[in-house]
């Protein structure tokens, strides 16, 4: 029975005109502290590279660490 753990850092941003969107970072470094993650997410916002269409990201809403464990079902 194979088990796989998938880790994703879900970064949530607010955009212009009350829009919200996520940037997912797969296989995030689990050794990073919450403070280090906050610094990185703020740097993503400050880069000015985030947005949807012409709607730029304006603020960080937060971030969530999502760890998913998947186990195969063995058929006999």
Domain range list for the chain: 3-71
Distance, in Å, from the CA atom of 31 to the CA atom of 37, rounded to the nearest integer, reads 10
Supply the DSSP string of 1-66, one letter for each residue.
Answer: --EEEEEEEEEEEEEGGG-EEEEEEET--TTS-HHHHHHHHHHHHHTT--EETTEEEEEEEEEEEE
Task: Kindly tell me if the per-residue pLDDT of 53 is higher than 90.
Answer: no
Q: Encoding tokens for residue 26?
A: 């797969």
4-34 residue pLDDT tens: 999 999 999 999 888 899 999 999 999 999 9
The confidence score (pLDDT) of residue 55 equals 79
């Amino acid at each position: 029975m194979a088990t796989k753990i998938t880790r994703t850092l879900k970064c949530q941003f607010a955009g212009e005109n009350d829009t919200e969107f996520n940037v997912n970072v797969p296989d995030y470094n689990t050794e990073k502290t919450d403070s280090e993650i906050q610094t990185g997410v703020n740097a993503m916002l400050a880069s000015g590279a985030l947005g949807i269409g012409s709607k730029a990201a304006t603020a960080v809403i937060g971030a969530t660490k999502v760890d998913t464990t998947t186990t195969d079902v063995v058929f006999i």
